[in-house]
Amino acid sequence: MKYVSILLVVALAMFPANAFASCPNQTGPYFSGPFVWYDFDFDTSCATTSGNVAAGNLWCYSTPAYEWDYGSGSVDYTMTVPSGVYGNFSASVLAEFSDPHTSNLNAVSATVYCYHNNSVSYYETFYIHQGNQGSLSCVRFDSGTFTAYAGDTIEVVMTGQSYNYDTTMQISAPTIFSSNY
């Protein structure tokens, strides 16, 4: 028992409670003229996954991402809107896609949902791509603007299906923006 207590004290000293990352990481406010915003950045460790997806990085900026190599799977990021931020929200992802088979069966998408009082108040599939639409290299996709209030839930769901092992389909962890416009 004494040994366990010593290990616990050492662990707490090395890893204080505030050292663990929150999901998402809030930064800001940022200013550009009359435009003011906050960023909510996710990491792949913040996601809930199912099926055949693997965490990795996009080649550009070493951005954390998930990849669908073969089979289907989904990735789900969720946040609760805090107080003290602006009510106009949007979501953004970076995407890479390369399919030597140019198959419409290889496809991936990202959808943002906003829940107010446990009901969907907004949703939009702001990124969807198939192999027959060509390659993408670190392309940014943004949702439209929607309204959310403190206590609401914002969710970004990514789904994909790959029928070929040599097809690359990656989507970065999302960034949610809260702005005054």
Of 77, 1, 55, 88, residue with least CA distance to 170 = 55
Alpha-helical regions (H) of the chain: 2-14
Can you give the pLDDT at residue 5? 35
Overall residue count recorded for the chain in this entry:
181
Q: What is the distance, to the nearest Å, from the Cα of residue 177 to the centroid of all Cα atoms in its chain?
A: 12
pTM of the model: 0.86
Tens of pLDDT, residues 77-100 = 999 999 999 999 999 999 999 999
From CA 169, how far away is CA 147, in angstroms rounded?
30
Give CA–CA dist 165/132, Å, rounded: 16
What is the percentage of the chain residues whose pLDDT exceeds 70?
A: 88
Half-sphere exposure of 120 (CA within 13 A, CB side): 8
Domain map of the chain by residue range? Answer: 25-179
- Answer yes or no: are the C-beta atoms of 38 and 85 closer than 8 Å: yes
* Four-way CATH pick for 25-179: 3.40.50.720, 2.60.120.260, 1.20.59.10, 3.40.225.10: 2.60.120.260
Would you state the pLDDT for residue 16? 36
The single residue listed with the structure tokens 């198959």 is 103
Percent with pLDDT over 90 in the chain: 83
What kind and span of H or E run contains 116? strand 107-116
CB contact at 8 A, 68 and 105: no
Average pLDDT, the chain: 89
Q: Is the dihedral of CA 9, 15, 16, 21 positive or negative?
A: negative
pLDDT at 170 > cutoff 80: yes
